[in-house]
Structure 1
C-alpha cells in the first residue's frame, strides 16, 4: 500500500512496516495522547525491539519516528 493508506491504517490502530526496510522485526505505530501522560498529541513511533540482526550494537528501542521522502513515496507498506 502507499504511505497515505499506511497512515490511515495507523489511525485505525494497526501497526505497519515497509517490505523494503533493512532488517526484519521493525514496524511503526501510532501512540494516542492521554491526559495521564506527558505527551499531549498523538505521535508515530518506530519499534525496533524485535529487530532480527546479528549486530549486537543495533539499537532495540521504541522512539518517535519521522518519515523520509523515500518512505513517503514508497508503495511497499504492509500491515504487521
Structure 2
C-alpha cells in the first residue's frame, strides 16, 4: 500500500510499517500521568494528549514521534501490522 493508504489505516486504529522496518507506527491519544501528586497512593495528575503518530522503535528501542522521510511518503511497501 502507499503512504495515503497507510495513513488511512492509522486513522482506523491499525499499526503500520514499511517492509524493511523492525518497528511500526501507531496513533496514540488519550490521558496519561503527567506528574505524580501522591506517591503513597499512586495518584497522578492526568493530562490529555492530542492524537499523534508515534513510532515504536525496533528491538525495544522505545517510542518517538514519527516523522516520514520523502522516501516514506513515496513508498508503496507499507503494510498493516497484525
Compute the TM-score of the two structures, normalised by the length of structure 2: 0.71
The partner residue of 1:29 within 1, 26, 29 is 26
The partner residue of 1:43 within 45, 52, 69 is 52
How far did residue 62 of structure 1 move?
Answer: 0.8
Q: Which runs of 5+ in 2 are unaligned?
A: 33-45
Instruction: Name the structure 1 match of 2:37.
Output: none
Q: Deviations over 1:7-61 (max 9, x none)?
A: 000000000000033xx3x00001124595342x21000002x52xxxxxxx711
Higher strand share: 2
Is the radius of gyration larger for structure 1 or structure 2? 2
Q: Deviations over 1:51-74 (max 9, x none)?
A: 2xxxxxxx7111111111011100
| Matched residue count | 68
Compute the TM-score of the two structures, normalised by the length of structure 1: 0.73
Corresponding residue SS for 1:70 = helix
Q: Which runs of 5+ in 1 are unaligned?
A: 52-58
